[in-house]
Amino acid sequence: MKTAETSLQIAKPLIATTIAGLLAAPVAVQAFELKISGQVSRMVVMPDDAEGDETQHQDIGWSGSRFRITGSEEMANGLEVGFRLEKQMQSNPSSDAGVSGGATDDAPDDADDNRYQDIYFSGDFGMLSIGKGDGAADGSTEADLSGTALSSSSNHQDNWGNYRIAPGVRWDSIFTMADGISRVNRLRYDTPSFDGVRFAVSLDQGNATELGLKYTGKQDGYQLDLRAFLVSGDDYTGDTDFSGFSGSVLLDNGYNFTLAMSDTDVDGGPDRDALTIKLGYREGIHAFTVDFGDGETGSADADTFGLTWAAVVHPGVEVFATWRELDSDISGTESIDLIALGSRVRF
């Protein structure tokens, strides 16, 4: 008859043998190289628009606070597979429609956005992406080598468009710099680089089609970034078509010039055009720019003028100060003046 002590003595070596066998057995290991990164973006804005002049503390709408997880793995025959998961978390974002000079409270809701859920396969053939990510034309009006794109990008409405030129009338209802479709469910293909030239095409949710062309390169005495795009809309864009161009050149002496323009053909509504010109100078960690933008929606016209200083004070740490005026030719409206101080810390 076995006692409890005898059973325990028998069980111990059996357990030890079983554990040793499991440790010795082959175990499937995920070899993906994972990386966690992100950023925190904040600014203080002192605006004076048709709603008031209340000081605001905002998350930067153009480049909001977010974190991401990325991974990649080399497969056979030089093929690489990777993914990107990204979540944006903003408190009182400047891009929120409720933000204006007269808003004394935080925006009604913090902005949480599943920005990316994307898988890609790349190799000598180029890259194929599937999932939620950038459309093939996204960023095509955002070429900018000036060093001040964080606060003074060509898409001015991303940071400043929710201010009011009249009660209930937003400035960006007139000025709209069109671009490709950002963060959409799509199937996208990018060609390999041909001496700095890349072509991309995507088939997006809602049957929209995007085409993007980009050149980046460094020549003797200057750097160049050129982009062009075409979006043929369907259900996703309400049959609205976009096209445009942007280019930026940075000379070795620090002087730079940036131009962006777009055309929007609205189905059943007034067409929209926009133009941005920026002149700048970079010296060490500092960048200085003066810019002008003009946009039309139908017969209405809106323009903007801005002065910006920005500096990269430490790797991954950028600070800026901007003064900007937003104006229009609509009767009964007023100019918007604002000062913004901000920073973005990347990790």
Q: What one-character-per-residue DSSP string does 98-145 give?
A: T--TT--S--SS-EEEEEEEEEEEEETTEEEEEEEE--TTTTTT----
DSSP string covering 313-341, please?
EETTEEEEEEEEEEEE--TT---EEEEEE
User: Is residue 4 situated within a structural domain?
Assistant: no
pTM of the predicted model as reported, rounded to 2 decimal places: 0.85
Give every CB contact of residue 309 below 8 A, 6+ residues apart in sequence. 148, 286, 287, 288, 320, 321, 322
Asked whether residue 10 is assigned to any structural domain, the reply reads no
| Distance in angstroms (rounded) separating the CA atoms of residues 103 and 275 | 29
pLDDT of residue 109: 56
Q: Which H or E element spans position 24?
A: helix 4-24
DSSP codes of every residue in 191-250: PPPBTTEEEEEEEEGGG-EEEEEEEEEEETTEEEEEEEEEEE-STTTTS-EEEEEEEEEE
Give the pLDDT score at 108.
54
> 249-259 burial, b if ≥16 CB within 10 A, otherwise e?
bbeeeeebebb
CB 229 within 8 A of CB 242: yes
Enclosing H/E stretch for 261 = strand 255-265
Whether the CA torsion 277, 309, 324, 228 is positive or negative: it is positive
- Decide if 14 is inside a domain: no
Q: What is the pLDDT along the chain (347 residues), one digit of tens a residue?
A: 444 444 434 444 544 554 454 455 454 445 678 999 999 999 999 999 888 888 889 999 889 999 999 999 998 888 999 999 999 998 888 877 667 776 655 555 566 788 999 999 999 999 999 999 999 999 999 999 999 999 999 988 878 878 999 988 899 889 999 999 989 999 999 999 999 999 999 999 888 899 999 999 999 999 999 999 999 976 656 668 889 999 999 999 999 999 999 999 887 789 999 999 999 999 999 999 999 999 999 999 999 999 999 999 999 999 999 999 999 999 889 999 999 999 999 99
Rounded distance between C-alpha atoms, residue 171 and residue 153, angstroms: 16
Residue 305 lies in a domain: yes
Structure tokens at 48: 């004076």
- pLDDT in the model for residue 219: 92
Terminal Cα-to-Cα distance of the chain (whole angstroms): 66
The answer to whether position 12 is within a domain reads no
Give 172's DSSP letter: G
The pLDDT of residue 266 is: 85
Q: How far is 62 from 178, CA to CA, in rounded Å?
A: 14
Q: Which residue has the tokens 């002087």?
A: 255
Cα gap 60→40, rounded to integer Å:
9
Amino acid symbol at 79: L
For residue 48, the Cα-to-chain-centroid distance in whole angstroms is 27
pLDDT at 65: 95
pLDDT at 214: 98
Phi and psi at 109, nearest 5°, equal -140, 145
In angstroms, the CA 10 to CA 233 distance is 73
Residue 267, token pair as written in the block: 């189905």
Nearest to 120 by CA among 182, 66, 75: 75
pLDDT score for 158 = 78
In a domain, 25, yes or no: no
Structural domain span for residue 307: 32-346
- Domain membership flag for residue 158: yes
pLDDT at residue number 156: 86
For residue 78, give the 3-state DSSP assignment. Answer: helix
Q: Is residue 27 part of a domain?
A: no
84: nearest Cα among 200, 210, 183, 179: 183
Strand 317-328 with 272-283, pairing: unpaired
Domain with residue 70: its CATH number is 2.40.160.10
**Residue closest to 234 by CA, chosen among 206, 195, 257, 213:** 206
Beta bridge partner(s), residue 317:
314, 345
How many structural domains is the chain composed of?
A: 1
- Gap between the Cα atoms of 171 and 220, Å rounded: 41
pLDDT of residue 289: 98
Structure tokens at 134: 């950038």
Q: Report pLDDT for 78.
A: 87
Fill in the amino acid letter for 212.
G
